[in-house]
Amino acid sequence: MAHAIATESLKRGVEMYPVGSVPDFE
């Protein structure tokens, strides 16, 4: 469940900061 939430945040967060700055959720 937490992974799904993190993925949602990632999709929205992409607009706020570059993907390269995102922690490795993979």
Contact in structure between 13 and 22 (CB atoms under 8 Å): yes
SS3 for 5?
Answer: helix
Q: Is the dihedral of CA 10, 12, 13, 19 positive or negative?
A: positive
Q: How much is the pLDDT for 2?
A: 76
Q: State pLDDT tens for residues 1-26.
A: 677 887 887 777 666 666 555 666 55
pTM of the model: 0.31
Q: What is the pLDDT of residue 9?
A: 79
Written as six digits, the tokens of 14 are 């992409």
23 φ, ψ (degrees, to nearest 5): -55, 155
